[in-house]
Structure 1
Amino acid sequence: MPKHVVFDVVGTCVSYSAFFSRISSVLGPRLLANNITPKLFGFAWMESSEREFTYLSISSRYTPYKQVFAAMFYRILWMSGIENPREFATDAERDEIVSSYSELELREGVQETFGMLRDAGFTVWCLTTGDVERVRGYFMKANMDMPLENFRSCDGMGVAKPALAAYKPLFESFGEEEEKWFAAAHILHRFKGAYCSVYEKEDCRELFGVDMDVMADTLPAMAKKIIEASK
């Protein structure tokens, strides 16, 4: 029986370290002078952008994440305590930081994880909200084999994860009796799932009210548990 594992990409397979480093290099001293750490600012910027991106999507006004992300920059500086955000930073500095998304790198263990799953008979897929060219670029830059035909994006559908409609086309493309897993570093969906705490550290199960089929602290450990659970 065919077996599939669909991976979330950015955050799960790809680390945000390059993004946080770029904030440090561009704005770090100014942020720290205002008692704002670059990583916390970056996290607040991403999370607020994700919220607005999701709200726009569910209110039928879908807007690509990159556009939302850039627009939120000065608001988050203001909410972080910067009195005059547009005097504190420039559009060019914002754009330089935003461009670092193209320089994100795969997390340690991704190649091992995908290799173990493939050796165990799984087909590995990637499902992203971003554009496939950029997201596949993370794998190509790491010289890792990830076929273009195994990438899917919900960006062109005008819907964003975690809406079920974002997952539905790919999962419905699999046979009804085929084994289907979704692997991510966040708990968002109701499919047979595997959670890795490599990004969030805390799973907050008391909030989501769900126990995943597989939970692990590293990507390779998650792959081993998926393989074991499928036997």
Structure 2
Amino acid sequence: MPHVVFDIVGTCFTYERFFAAIEARLGDKMLAAGIKPRLFGYTWTEVAEREYTYLSMTGRYLSFQHVFKSLFYRMLWFSGIKEPRAFATDADVEACLDGWRHLGPRQGLQEAMQKLRDAGFTVWCFTTGDAKRILGYFQDAGVEMAPESILSCDTLGLSKPAPEAYKNMLGRFEGQEVWFAAAHSWDASAAREFGFKTAYCSEGEKEPCYDIFGKYDAEGVTIVEMADALIAKSKGATQ
């Protein structure tokens, strides 16, 4: 039986509700200070990913959510706000994070996962997010996902893209066909290096930057197109 392991945040669920929460709570103040709320949200996310990963690499693992929340005021400082804690409050931080806690599904997610299941794949999740919150995303979106199919880096105490993280996931399916599906080039390309067949959805990043990350076994612009390409490639390999 073939398997497909999905990255979740940014792949199955987009950042749009998070960006909207920042705009609703602080958008006018940010724009008046010359800060684009959407760019702030993206930068905050990316810096948190880096710090979270660096902490894990040096044996000081903390949950992504912990790191993410703590960096908010620092990101205001780097955005040009001289007194970040006078500009925003802890209540503002929570309002922004509430958008993160309720991310919405990428268009076509339900269809993509159903196509994969109908083609005989079991569907798994491998995420830096906490498993309870990730399960909530699926439940809120009405997309089937068994709790036991969600593996969080919190359980391993080790963040992607550490080789051991991918190898741990891959080792659960020894001798079987296993795909890794993501909308992040760094994630899909890392999984490829450690033994997964890979599928990439370019809708989120727009520019795949093949010169940096290389190409994948299956690709699509949308998540449905990615699923179709994955299924076709898998069937072609077994015929």
Q: Do Structure 1 and Structure 2 share a fold, with TM-score over 0.5?
A: yes
Measured on the aligned residues, the alpha-carbon RMSD in Å equals 1.0
Equivalent residue, structure 1, for 2:112:
113
Match of 2:226 in 1: 222
Provide the secondary structure at the position in 1 that maps to 2:126. strand
**Cα deviation code 1:49-98 (max 9, x no counterpart):** 11100110101111111111111111111111111111110111112211
Are positions 1:185 and 2:178 aligned together?
Answer: no
Supply the distance in 1 between the matched residues of 2:227 and 2:211 (Cα, whole angstroms): 25
Listed one character per residue, the Cα deviations across residues 146-201 of structure 1 (whole Å, up to 9, x for unaligned) are: 1112111121211001112222222111131x111000001221221011012111
C-alpha distance in structure 2 between counterparts of 1:170 and 1:63, whole Å = 20
Q: Which runs of 4+ in 1 moved over 6 A?
A: none
Counterpart of 1:36? 35
Q: Within the alignment, does 1:199 sit opposite 2:204 as a pair? A: yes
Where does 1:62-73 land on structure 2 (aligned, <5 Å)?
A: 62-73=61-72
Please give the alpha-carbon distance, in whole angstroms, between the structure 1 residues aligned to 2:128 and 2:219: 23
Helix, strand or coil at the partner of 1:124 = strand
* Aligned pairs for 1:40-189 within 5 A: 40-176=39-175, 178-187=176-185, 188=187, 189=190
Instruction: Report deviation, 1:126.
Output: 0.9
User: For 1:31 and 1:126, how far apart are their aligned partners in 2?
Assistant: 35
SS at match of 2:29: helix
Find the aligned partners of 2:76 and 2:13 in 1 and give their Cα distance.
Answer: 25
In 2, Cα distance between the equivalents of 1:153 and 1:16?
19
The Cα of 1:145 is off from its aligned counterpart by 1.3
Amino acid at match of 2:225: A
| Total equivalences in the alignment | 228
Q: Is the 1:12–1:198 Cα contact (8 Å) retained in structure 2?
A: no
Partner amino acid, structure 2, of 1:46: T
C-alpha contact (below 8 Å) 2:49/2:64 kept by paired residues: yes
Partner Cα separation in structure 2 for residue 137 and residue 116 of structure 1: 22
* SS at 2:180 equivalent: strand
Aligned residue in 2 for 1:16:
15
Rounded to whole Å, the distance in 1 between the matches of 2:161 and 2:130 is 17
Q: For residues 10 and 68 of structure 2, what CA distance do their matches in structure 1 show?
A: 16
Q: TM-score, normalising length from structure 1?
A: 0.96
CA distance in structure 2 between the partners assigned to 1:153 and 1:44 by the alignment: 23
Q: Residue type of the partner of 2:151?
A: R
Q: CA deviation at 1:99?
A: 2.3
**Residues of 1 paired with 2:205 and 2:162: CA distance?**
20
CA distance in 2, matches of 1:150, 1:74: 35
TM-score normalized with structure 2 length: 0.92
Secondary structure of the 2:173 match is: coil
